[in-house]
Each structure stands twice: as C-alpha cells, then as structure tokens.
Amino acid sequence: MVKTVVQEALNGLVEDLRTTHGANLACVVLYGSAAAGDHIELRSDYNLLIALNRITPEDLRQAQAPMREWQRLGHPLPVYFTVEELSDAADVFPIEFHQMANARIVLYGHDPFEFVKLSDANLRHQTEYELRSKLIQLRRLYIPASVSIEKLCDLMSDSLSSFAALFRAALLLHGQEAPVAKPDCVRATASLLKLDPAPFERIFQFRTGGDLPSSENEANDLFGAYLFQVEQVVEAVDELRHEHGSSS
C-alpha cells in the first residue's frame, strides 16, 4: 500500500519519534490518499497525524530533528494532537476527522479513532466554507496560469485533488457512501449531482498519461468546463442549508 522507499522513510521517522518523545508518544498514523493507495490518478502527500499524551513547546522543539529529514524528502509536516484533543475536536474538524478515520494506517501505538465519535454537526458548514474558499483560490490562480498549457494543467490537477476530498464530504451530506479513493469520490459526486463528468475525466487522463491539451484554447475551454462543474457542487451543498432550515 505504501511505496517501499517511503515505507523505509516512515519506519525511520517512527523510530526517531519514539526516541524523541519516548513514553509521551501515543501513536503515529498515516492518513488520506497515501493510506488508501490512491497514488495513480491524483498526486498525494504522505499525511501524518502524531498524537502525544501532552504537548509543550519543548516537545515540539524536540521534533525538529526528526522532521528535518522528513521535510527534506518533500513531505509535509505532520499534525500534532494530544490524545484528549482528538476526542474534543471531532465536532470542529468533521471533514478532516472523517478523512483520517476512513483511510488510515496506524504506524505506531494505538488506533486513535477506535473510540473517537465522529460528529456531523458542523459538516455542512465546513464543507461549504472549504469549497467556497478553494473556488475563490482557483479563480485567483487561474489568472497567471491561463497563458500556459502546462500551468493550467498543473492547476487543474492539483485543485481537483483538493476538491475531491471535499466531494467526499458532499457525498456524506447526501447520505451516500463515500469512496476512499479521490477519483472514485469525484465520479460518485458527478453521478449523484448529475454533473458532466467529462472535464474531470479529461483531467484524470492527462494527469496519469501526460496527454495534455493540444492548445491554450483547448486548455482554457477545459478549465471553464471544470470550473462550472465545481460551482455546481458548491451550489448543491449550499442548497442543503435551505432544505434543512438551518445555517449549520
């Protein structure tokens, strides 16, 4: 599930963390796309959750050495929680906690989600907020990318990876089973909301095979079609607020 080279790096990091944090280290968890084996159609980071029994500035300073090599390999810094915070914050980060719970590999320690009760109380609000934020950012980034086929394709590939995680939340809000793999989430959302899947499939195509659009016009037309489909998802999530008769 995890590539050999990265597995070796993960093993080394876990050993370094055990040495650094000692008995304070409760668990190390790989979560998200990498844990699901979703490496082919969409680029994915190796996201780590580290839970400590307590977190002080000194604990975080001590982590600097193990993280230096991890970052040198191009991986993002892990997120740190205390064990208590994992239980307390489930209602504040419903998207992230669903993502962690649905696709995770416990690399060390106990499974932190074994007894965590996932909350959907704020799921719709967070989903719409994140979707609208990423939509605004997508429009901003399109301005400089619009004159380059390569930049446009990178923008669409990278942003679709981010949107796919939010599409999973949209599926949950509609009472649907949410696939673990991001491409499957995109396809399931397109089917549920009766979107045009063609722009998404075209992005998957050039992301995996390098078959880029043949001209700037074609790339820009694809972006326009892709943007419109994303906007339809945002509208669908917003409509749930009116259906439920609340601002949650």
> What would the pLDDT profile of 164-195 be if each residue is shown by its tens digit?
989 999 999 999 988 878 899 999 999 999 99
State which of 109, 143, 175 marks the end of a domain: 109
Instruction: Look up the domain containing 35 and give its range.
Output: 4-109
Indicate if 85 and 131 belong to the same structural domain.
no
Q: Confidence band (pLDDT; 50, 70, 90) for 244?
A: low
95 belongs to a structural domain:
yes
H/E stretch holding 108: strand 104-109
More confident residue, 231 or 91: 231
Q: How far apart are the first and last CA of the chain?
A: 37
Q: Confidence band (pLDDT; 50, 70, 90) for 2?
A: low
State which of 60, 77, 109 marks the end of a domain: 109
pLDDT over 80 at 201, yes or no: yes
Distance (Å) of CA 237 to CA 88, 97, 125: 26, 19, 9
> What would the pLDDT profile of 37-90 be if each residue is shown by its tens digit?
655 444 456 889 999 999 999 999 999 999 998 888 888 899 999 999 988 887
CATH number at residue 146: 1.20.120
Indicate if 153 and 201 belong to the same structural domain.
yes
pTM of the full structure: 0.74
Indicate if 166 and 188 belong to the same structural domain.
yes
Residue for token digits 């074994």? 114
Indicate if 93 and 182 belong to the same structural domain.
no
CATH number at residue 18: 3.30.460.10
Averaged pLDDT score across all residues of the chain = 88
Indicate if 135 and 105 belong to the same structural domain.
no
193: amino acid identity, one letter: L
Indicate if 147 and 181 belong to the same structural domain.
yes
Indicate if 134 and 238 belong to the same structural domain.
yes
Indicate if 35 and 97 belong to the same structural domain.
yes
**pLDDT > 90 in the chain, percent:** 62
**Whats the size of the chain, residue-wise?**
248
Indicate if 92 and 26 belong to the same structural domain.
yes
Q: Report the alpha-carbon angle 239-240-245, nearest 5.
A: 100
Distance of CA 240 to the CA centre of its chain: 22
Number of domains in the chain: 2
The answer for residues whose C-beta is within 8 angstroms of residue 10's C-beta and 6 or more apart is 2, 30, 46, 107
Cβ–Cβ < 8 Å for 31, 99:
yes
117 belongs to a structural domain:
no
Cβ–Cβ < 8 Å for 129, 97:
no
